[in-house]
């Protein structure tokens, strides 16, 4: 909790109205979410300037706001609504948000942070790690997708009396991890993998590797870096200033894939233990192995580590299982990257004695690599046993070009509406239907329509 005078110190801002000793409890960047007592930070985006909505937040009884465009507001009229409202003029509201997030992190240096980054698997790893740590500790966990240089400050501003925090770090441009490191200052960091997500923005996988592993530069305290030893890029990473621990699928033995759970044996504190992951998806084996190692680092008991892993649940639209009329839908539509789509397809392939249908849409933000990656993704089906493929999107033409060699029944649709119609036409009892595609391809709408009509 920061006082107004601390906000001024952090941002070098100018107080236009309000009291120096007033305390701010909550911060919002979306004017539609502002409730009584919230402090509003208007972000200037490419298409929308948050300053336009300051008056709306004042009507909703916000405690105050930053402003960089002073001409956009009428201070006198605002004071007529709330004479004590806090108004702080700053040069740049985005920078001010980051600055106060850094200020509060430095104010609570004693709270240890586990930071998780990677091309895919950040959120599911974050959730299973936090499930383990929360068995024994009071922790703060990244909410929703607040993992960027805009979202992260909103999380570090919540640091107060927790023992630990598990924070997810996502990057969209070169240099963003440098900003996140100042906010995170982690004791332990995890890099899940180096894939091709957002490769259209970064230009190459080598640059993604360089940028993701910069998270090690921010380590302090324990200075432990956990890396996926099965990733070809991460295996070659070297850094003598931190302690590197590797985790690998080879650490799991006697793996059994059930319809609803995954079981395997592994070492915890050098003694073999049986692990049950109460979720679908082979990636959850690796995620749970990360959770085990972090549990060991923080001396979580064996029983609590195992309980935390079992109590973990996939979040909405990440390998989420939905059943009706003896048909199983796997909603994996939160977003899509090449590696997450491949992982999902492989995981569903483990399900036996059911007709398997894949409903896929374009993977976006691949830039000049889009055709190559979708062609390569089509070849994945050579090793899988899918009965039907329904796909739509400009780049799915390339995936189908190769996939049709391995799947008997393939349908290319012009859009999500046609794809949904085809799903309804062919689905039958004992089917398992896997849905995946980038957010703006509206694969989630197909799932929602089916749920609306068939799930009570």
- CA-CA distance, 336 to 89, in Å (whole number)? 40
Q: In this structure, how many other beta carbons lie within 10 angstroms of the beta carbon of residue 37?
A: 13
Q: What is the DSSP string of 339-407?
A: HHHHHHHHHHHT--SSEEEEEEE---S-GGGHHHHHHHHHHGGGGS--SEEEEESTTHHHHHHHHTTT-
Dihedral sign, Cα of residue 204, residue 205, residue 210, residue 216? positive
Residues of each domain in the chain carrying CATH 3.40.1190.10: 108-311
Question: Regarding the domain with residue range 320-454, which homologous superfamily does it belong to in the CATH classification?
Answer: Mur ligase, C-terminal domain (3.90.190.20)
Pairing between β-strand 253-257 and β-strand 262-268 as defined by DSSP bridges: antiparallel
DSSP annotation of 49: B
Fold of the domain built from segment(s) 2-91: 3.40.1390
Q: Which of 390, 365, 360 is nearest to 377 (CA)?
A: 360
Residue entry with tokens 């931190």: 242
Dihedral (Cα; 200, 145, 258, 263), 10-degree rounding? 100
Q: In this structure, how many other beta carbons lie within 10 angstroms of the beta carbon of residue 351?
A: 16
pLDDT at 146: 97
- CA-CA distance, 155 to 167, in Å (whole number)? 8
Pairing between β-strand 243-247 and β-strand 224-228 as defined by DSSP bridges: parallel
pLDDT at 260: 85
pLDDT at 9: 98
Residues of each domain in the chain carrying CATH 3.90.190.20: 320-454
Residues 39-43: contacts with CB under 8 Å, at least 24 apart: 39/63, 39/64, 39/65, 39/86, 40/64, 40/65, 40/66, 41/65, 41/66, 41/93, 41/96, 41/97, 42/66, 42/67, 42/68, 42/93, 43/93, 43/94, 43/97, 43/150
Phi-psi region of 309 (alpha: psi -120 to 50; beta: other; left: phi over 0): alpha
Pick one of 3.40.1190.10, 3.90.1150.10, 3.10.20.30, 3.40.50.2000 as the CATH number of 108-311: 3.40.1190.10
Tens-digit pLDDT string for the chain (456 aa) = 899 999 999 999 999 999 999 999 999 999 999 999 999 999 999 899 999 999 999 999 999 999 999 999 999 999 999 999 999 999 999 999 999 999 999 999 999 999 999 999 999 999 999 999 999 999 999 998 999 999 999 999 999 999 999 999 999 999 999 999 999 999 999 999 999 988 999 999 999 999 999 999 999 999 999 999 999 999 999 999 999 999 999 999 999 988 889 999 999 999 999 999 999 888 999 999 999 999 999 999 999 999 999 999 888 888 999 999 999 999 999 989 999 999 999 999 988 899 999 999 999 999 999 999 999 999 999 999 999 999 999 999 999 999 999 999 999 999 999 999 999 999 999 999 999 999 999 999 999 999 999 986
pLDDT at 427: 97
Strand order in the sheet with 262-268: 253-257, 262-268, 271-277
Dihedral sign, Cα of residue 202, residue 207, residue 208, residue 213? negative
Most distant CA pair in the chain: distance in Å?
71
Helix/strand/coil for 320:
strand
Residues of each domain in the chain carrying CATH 3.40.1390.10: 2-91
Q: Which two tokens stand for residue 264?
A: 């395997």
- CA-CA distance, 188 to 327, in Å (whole number)? 42
pLDDT at 315: 81
pLDDT at 280: 86
The neighbouring-strand residues paired with 412 are: 391
pLDDT at 281: 87
pLDDT at 258: 87
């Amino acid at each position: 909790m920061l006082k107004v005078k601390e906000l001024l110190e952090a941002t070098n801002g100018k107080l236009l109205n309000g009291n120096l000793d007033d305390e701010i409890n909550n911060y919002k960047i979306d004017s539609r979410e502002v409730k009584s007592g919230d402090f509003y930070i208007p972000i200037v985006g490419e298409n929308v300037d948050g300053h336009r909505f300051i008056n709306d937040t004042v009507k909703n009884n916000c405690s105050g706001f930053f402003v960089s465009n002073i001409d956009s507001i009428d201070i006198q009229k605002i004071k007529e609504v709330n004479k004590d409202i806090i108004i702080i003029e700053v040069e740049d509201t985005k920078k001010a948000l980051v600055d106060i997030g850094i200020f509060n992190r430095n104010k609570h240096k004693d709270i240890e942070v586990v930071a998780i980054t990677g091309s895919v698997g950040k959120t599911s790893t974050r959730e299973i790690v936090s499930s383990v740590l929360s068995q024994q500790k009071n922790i703060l966990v990244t909410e929703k997708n607040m993992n960027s240089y805009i979202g992260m400050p909103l999380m570090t501003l919540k640091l107060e009396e927790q023992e630990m925090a598990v924070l997810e770090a996502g990057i969209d441009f070169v240099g963003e991890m440098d900003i996140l490191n100042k906010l995170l200052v982690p004791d332990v960091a995890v890099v899940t993998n180096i894939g091709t997500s957002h490769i259209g923005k970064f230009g190459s996988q080598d640059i993604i590797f360089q940028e993701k592993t910069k998270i090690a530069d921010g380590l302090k305290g324990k200075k432990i870096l956990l890396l996926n030893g099965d990733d070809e890029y991460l295996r070659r990473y070297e850094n003598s200033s931190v302690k590197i621990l590797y985790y690998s699928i080879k650490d799991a033995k006697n793996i059994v894939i059930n319809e609803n759970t995954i079981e395997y044996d592994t070492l915890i504190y050098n003694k073999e233990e049986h692990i049950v992951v109460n979720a679908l998806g082979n990636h959850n084996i690796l995620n749970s192995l990360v959770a085990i190692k972090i549990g060991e680092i923080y001396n979580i008991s064996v029983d609590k580590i195992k309980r935390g892993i079992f109590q973990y649940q996939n979040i909405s639209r990440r390998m989420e299982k939905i059943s009706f009329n003896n048909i199983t839908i796997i909603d994996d539509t939160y977003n899509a990257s090449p590696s997450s789509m491949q992982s999902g397809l492989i995981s569903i392939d483990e399900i036996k004695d059911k007709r398997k249908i894949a409903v896929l849409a374009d993977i976006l933000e691949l830039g000049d690599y889009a055709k190559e990656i979708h062609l390569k993704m089509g070849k994945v089906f050579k090793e899988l046993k899918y009965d039907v493929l329904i796909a739509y999107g400009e780049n799915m033409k390339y995936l189908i070009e190769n996939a049709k060699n391995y799947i008997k029944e393939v349908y290319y649709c012009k859009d999500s509406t046609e794809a949904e119609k085809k799903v309804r036409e062919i689905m039958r009892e004992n089917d398992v239907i896997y849905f995946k595609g980038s957010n703006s391809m509206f694969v989630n709408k197909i799932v929602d329509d089916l749920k609306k009509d068939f799930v009570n």
